[in-house]
């Protein structure tokens, strides 16, 4: 008799624990009406930059973020949303690229002309920071196997009407240098101010 009551008590406790777990799971997964989330605006829309991977995400309605500079070449719009000096002695530049055209855009001329960089495929391996005051050009950092520390576009580019996140890391210019130009492919130079990370 005592054993039966104990088993019933354990089953009841197990049921309560499972129900509580399910309720917490459902409450944690609930989306909701986006209270407090910023909405995209025409002048400052961008996708969130990838935090450490080399892939890119494509979206048609990127969330709002501050755009430092935007340059266009044909149907392609390049937005820079961040240019930060990091403590390791490098600069990380990030933003979005948007294909406003009707065809898939292939990022082949963004990978650079060096033979070593051709293995990076459609990427920002050919990007550079230009310090016109110090008369120096800083190329994208790369590992010992020639892989750039930059975005490699999934599928080789960006689909029509879509945006993709990008980032590229460079050696940091001297501390006194606060303004540089970001240059990639046939895009016009994008003047940016470096911020401290």
CATH architecture of 58-196: Sandwich (2.60)
SS3 48: coil
User: Which regions of the chain are under pLDDT 50?
Assistant: 3, 13, 15-17, 19-63
pLDDT score for 118 = 66
pLDDT score for 12 = 53
pLDDT score for 37 = 37
pLDDT score for 88 = 85
- In sequence order, which residues have a C-beta less than 8 Å from that of residue 80 and are 6 or more positions away? 67, 68, 69, 70, 93, 94, 95, 182, 190, 192
Q: What is the pTM of this model?
A: 0.64
DSSP string, 49-116: PPSS-S---EESSPPB---SEEEEETTEEEEEEEEEEETTTEEEEEEEEEE-SSSPEE-GGGS-SSTG
| Domain edges within the chain | 1-30, 58-196
């Amino acid at each position: 008799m005592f054993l039966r009551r104990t088993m019933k008590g354990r089953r009841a406790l197990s049921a309560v624990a499972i129900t509580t777990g399910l309720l917490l799971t459902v409450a944690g997964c609930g989306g909701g009406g986006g209270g407090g989330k910023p909405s995209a605006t025409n002048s400052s829309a961008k996708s969130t930059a990838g935090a450490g991977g080399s892939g890119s995400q494509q979206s048609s309605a990127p969330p709002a973020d501050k755009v430092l500079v935007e340059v266009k070449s044909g149907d392609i719009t390049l937005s820079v949303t961040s240019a930060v000096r990091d403590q390791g002695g490098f600069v990380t530049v990030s933003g979005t690229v948007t294909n406003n055209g009707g065809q898939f855009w292939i990022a082949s001329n963004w990978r650079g002309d060096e033979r070593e960089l051709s293995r990076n495929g459609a990427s920002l391996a050919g990007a550079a920071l230009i310090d016109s005051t110090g008369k120096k050009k800083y190329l994208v950092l790369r590992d010992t196997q020639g892989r750039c520390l930059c975005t490699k576009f999934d599928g080789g580019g960006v689909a029509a009407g879509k945006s993709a996140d990008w980032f590229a890391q460079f050696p940091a210019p001297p501390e006194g240098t606060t303004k540089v130009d970001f240059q990639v492919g046939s895009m016009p130079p994008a003047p940016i101010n470096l911020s401290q990370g």
